[in-house]
Amino acid sequence: MDFPALLRRHGLLNEAPIARSLGVHSAPAHFTPTQATTILAFKFTGGVLVAGDRRATAGNTVVYDRADKVLEIDRHSIMAIAGVPATAWEMARVLEHSLQYFRRTQLQEMSVDGKVRALSKLLRDNFGFVMQGVGVVVPIFATFDFAGDGQPRLYFYDAMGANFEVTEYAATGSGSPAVRGVLFYENRWGKKSLNKLREEDAVTLALRALDTAAEADTATGGVDRQGRIFPVIKIISRDGIKTLGEEQIAERFKKTVA
């Protein structure tokens, strides 16, 4: 049993004020917050690919099927979100404004370590909501380190703000176990390791991973063939951030996955 559930069991967690803040005045004792899953990122020859499905759920209900979980923070940084979208999007806006303010006042980019720690602080400041079970966010952060070794950097976080740098891939959200399984298999036993994939093959792998996760996890949208809804895919390289168009993703999906 998690800590918020223990508080509810003993009647010590009052969720009515939260419900009223959501405009639900005759709410039951418990409500289910909206959750956004699943996200992944991995390094390949061209930089870092970051992708996320489009589904947002509340319990067993699909709230929205076109959520954007891959957010541009600055010209070379991306924050992908899993968890409560309202909290995550607010964190992304605060982080974006913080980096803009630093760049304009200091006339230089914030260091990679500074960006990583700034996101950690936002997560730590949100821990009160995490303990209430209403504001859990578990993001992935990808950027390019021009001031250091000139290589892409990739991090994942826990809900308390601890950050972990990875050398190959990361995935979070309810569908992440299936995604990690696909990425591990391809990296270990595929024809090429992840860091040797070309962009086209990297996109194919991301689509296969999310489609596989959708088969095992109802909260993961994967690729909606009937509605023609495809994941958001962005790539960070030395040249900045490139967003793949839906037509490009649809063509690649039809040719190599479907």
Q: Are 194 and 201 in contact (CB under 8 A)?
A: no
Q: Is 74 left (phi over 0), alpha (psi -120 to 50) or beta?
A: beta
- What is the distance between the alpha carbons of residues 238 and 58, in angstroms, rounded to a whole number? 38
Residue 243: active-site member: no
Catalytic annotation, pick one of 32, 34, 37, 38: 37
Q: Are 141 and 119 in contact (CB under 8 A)?
A: yes
Please, what sign has the CA dihedral across residues 170, 175, 177, 182?
negative
CA neighbours closer than 13 Å in the CB half-sphere of residue 177:
5
- Could you give the dihedral angle defined by the CA atoms of residues 173, 198, 73 and 121, in that order, rounded to the nearest 10 degrees? 50
Show which residues are catalytic.
37
